Amino acid sequence: MKNKISLILRIAVAIIFLQTLYFKFSAHPDSVYIFSQLGAEPVGRITLGFIEMICAVLILVPATKNVGIILSTGIILGAVASHLGPLGIVVQNDCGKVFFLALAILIACSILIAIHFKEIIAMVPFLKSKTA
């Protein structure tokens, strides 16, 4: 059951990341506005687009899913913090859509971390138990 939930959540995260790539790479006015407000236009917008594309691939590939989960969580924490800070929840009259998509990813990644916690901890050398 955990494997099915994990797969569904990983696909959902990847889909949300991938669907936002159009806006970032096409210099959509909403995306340009967001990154201009953050002082990161255009380099931040394009760089984040590539990082999100990498996250989407990593989170879908079973061998790299844990790296994808951690990287996705870090990226989306930055997005949520930006919305709670300088951007605000509602950006350009979007009714909070972008913020709530970011929250959905954050919730999904939090559940994924809980599901794969032992595997993720095992990836970090200084957190491994010292049994020898």
pLDDT value for 132? 46
pLDDT value for 128? 65
Query: Is 39 buried (19+), middle (13-18) or exposed (0-12) by CB count in 10 A?
Result: exposed
pTM of the model: 0.91
CA distance 123 to 107: 22
CA distance 99 to 97: 5
pLDDT in tens, 68-89: 999 999 999 999 999 999 999 9
pLDDT in tens, 31-76: 999 999 999 999 999 999 999 999 999 999 999 999 999 999 999 9
CA distance 120 to 131: 18
Pick the residue with more confidence: 122 or 8? 8
